[in-house]
Amino acid sequence: MHDFVQYILSYLGSDKTPGASGNIFWATIYVLLVFVGLSIAVIAMNWLERKILAHMQIRLGPMRVGPHGLLQPIADALKLLLKEDLIPEGADKVVFWVAPFIVVLAAFTVFVVVPFGPTHAITDMNIGILFMLGVSSLSVLGIVTAGWASNSHYPLIGALRSSAQMVSYEVAMGLAVVSAIMMTSLDGNGTLSMIGIVQAQFAQREWFLFKFFPLGVIAFTIFAIAMVAETNRAPFDLPEAESELTAGFHTEYSGFRWSLFFLAEYSAMIAVSSIAVTLWLGGWLRPFPNLLSGPTWDLAFSLVPGLAFLLLGAMCFYNTARMPKHPLFKIQTIGLAAFGAVLALIGLLMFLPPVRDRVGDIFWFSAKVAGFMYLYIWYRGTFPRYRFDQLMKVGWKVLLPTGLALLILTAIWAMRTQVWADVIIPAWTGFVDLLRSVF
């Protein structure tokens, strides 16, 4: 028994991820934490999407279910769980049953390597970014089988279109990712591991977004566009838009199975946003870790998580004060005040020194990913939808050549001294000698 406790505690003092130190217990705890965190994030995304879209469209969104619609996702989840489970006639039952699980598997397994901090990943594989790109491409299989198994033509066409779109934009994503990986090798130790990429950004004192000035930004832009297309979100959501194909590949899925697709879509959004944050925006690093370093700046920046939660709590209290003063609204007012109190309490908790030192990395990473989630919702509320041929044209004729050119330019610029000395000078002198020998 003492050995067991010793085994559990042997991880706490080390500075490695649970995977690197081979500790199964802590790896399981991390997996459960990521699972729970992801579920909370998806629930929050559901509410945020409806409210933010509504406010962008000058309406209010769900206001009835809880205070300001805060319990709406829970009501949605209950409704989905209690719906009748329909399987279309003639559908292949085994494949129909398995398809949502493939998509969820692909969307959740990706989080094994996502780095929330220098040691806060479940494991840090040597091939982290390759693993993430590969496993997220397994969701195409789930979509194709879901469309085929429904035995109906809307889902089949929707599935084929959706998978063609995802496969096309994966190529552009891969090229942008490779050009970012090339920037990690400038110090001599290039790496594919996610934690290594962020540490390379820290060592080179610059986010890869700003590196080699236009090249990093263009790579980030290509990835940002491709990742929206990869997750079938607006403006690239022709295969699943309701007015176009009656919801595409998940037309025949209802209730719990549809909620699995929904869960997988939002998890995939968070996953590709994590890739973008890790590769270009410095991962878990706080703003200016090298420029404004030192204990006072560290202390100042470590107060930001607590202040953010206190701000959220203050917004809740403000809205409580603005609630209509009618007896029917009493429960909602009390509920909102309680929610605000919980948020403020979490904020105060984050001011305590033990929590403050550890939560900073996770907070900055989550804040950057949350920024990307807001961008996703903003795109949905702003851009009109691409037609399918326009979509494929953008993927193959615009993003792919730009990605290739970017890759070549990044490679040349990263090795510019060697290219100058070993390629251009000998070629130029050889050419001049040739001319001299001819004339």
Please tell me whether residue 246 binds other proteins under the rule CB under 8 A: no
Please tell me whether residue 133 binds other proteins under the rule CB under 8 A: yes
Residue of 365, 407, 411 whose CA lies nearest to 173: 407
Is 287 strand, coil or helix? coil
Nearest-angstrom CA–CA distance, 298 and 303: 9
**How many chain residues touch other proteins (CB under 8 A)?**
41
For residue 36, the minimal CB distance to other proteins (Å) is 22
Q: Among all chains, which residue has been given the structure tokens 């549809």?
A: 258
For residue 18, the minimal CB distance to other proteins (Å) is 10
Q: Are 177 and 183 in contact (CB under 8 A)?
A: no
Q: Which two tokens stand for residue 92?
A: 């292949």
Stretch that binds other proteins, among 46-54, 127-135, 219-227, 301-309 (CB under 8 A): 127-135
Nearest-angstrom CA–CA distance, 183 and 216: 9
By beta-carbon proximity to other proteins, the closer residue of 112 and 336 is 112
Per-residue mark of binding to other proteins, 96-115 (x: CB under 8 A): --x-----------------
Nearest-angstrom CA–CA distance, 197 and 434: 45
Please tell me whether residue 195 binds other proteins under the rule CB under 8 A: no
Please tell me whether residue 15 binds other proteins under the rule CB under 8 A: no
Please tell me whether residue 278 binds other proteins under the rule CB under 8 A: no
The single residue among 37, 190, 335, 381 that binds other proteins, judged by CB under 8 A, is 190
By beta-carbon proximity to other proteins, the closer residue of 54 and 192 is 192
| Cα–chain center distance at 271 | 3
The single residue among 94, 291, 328, 435 that binds other proteins, judged by CB under 8 A, is 94
Please tell me whether residue 203 binds other proteins under the rule CB under 8 A: no
Stretch that binds other proteins, among 49-57, 121-129, 234-242, 424-432 (CB under 8 A): 121-129
Please tell me whether residue 412 binds other proteins under the rule CB under 8 A: no
Residue of 280, 247, 339 whose CA lies nearest to 47: 339
CB burial readout 291-311, b (16+ within 10 A) else e:
eeeeeeeeeebbebbbebbbe
By beta-carbon proximity to other proteins, the closer residue of 145 and 320 is 145
Please tell me whether residue 10 binds other proteins under the rule CB under 8 A: yes
Please tell me whether residue 7 binds other proteins under the rule CB under 8 A: yes
For residue 136, the minimal CB distance to other proteins (Å) is 9
For residue 190, the minimal CB distance to other proteins (Å) is 8
Report the half-sphere exposure of 67 (CA within 13 A, side-chain side). 22
Please tell me whether residue 156 binds other proteins under the rule CB under 8 A: yes
Nearest-angstrom CA–CA distance, 163 and 246: 17
Amino acid at 401: P
Nearest-angstrom CA–CA distance, 163 and 179: 25
The single residue among 144, 183, 227, 285 that binds other proteins, judged by CB under 8 A, is 144
Nearest-angstrom CA–CA distance, 243 and 262: 18
Q: What is the CA radius of gyration of the chain?
A: 25
For residue 171, the minimal CB distance to other proteins (Å) is 11
Nearest-angstrom CA–CA distance, 262 and 247: 12
Nearest-angstrom CA–CA distance, 410 and 401: 14
For residue 135, the minimal CB distance to other proteins (Å) is 6
The single residue among 1, 2, 3, 59 that binds other proteins, judged by CB under 8 A, is 3
By beta-carbon proximity to other proteins, the closer residue of 151 and 221 is 151
Residue of 210, 260, 265, 272 whose CA lies nearest to 240: 265
The single residue among 1, 2, 5, 6 that binds other proteins, judged by CB under 8 A, is 6
Please tell me whether residue 229 binds other proteins under the rule CB under 8 A: no
Question: From the DSSP assignment, how many helices (H) and strands (E) are in the chain?
Answer: 19, 0
Binding residues vs other proteins (CB under 8 A) = 3, 6-7, 10-11, 14, 19-25, 92, 94-95, 98, 125-127, 130-131, 133-135, 137-138, 140-141, 144-145, 148-149, 156, 160, 163, 167, 190-193
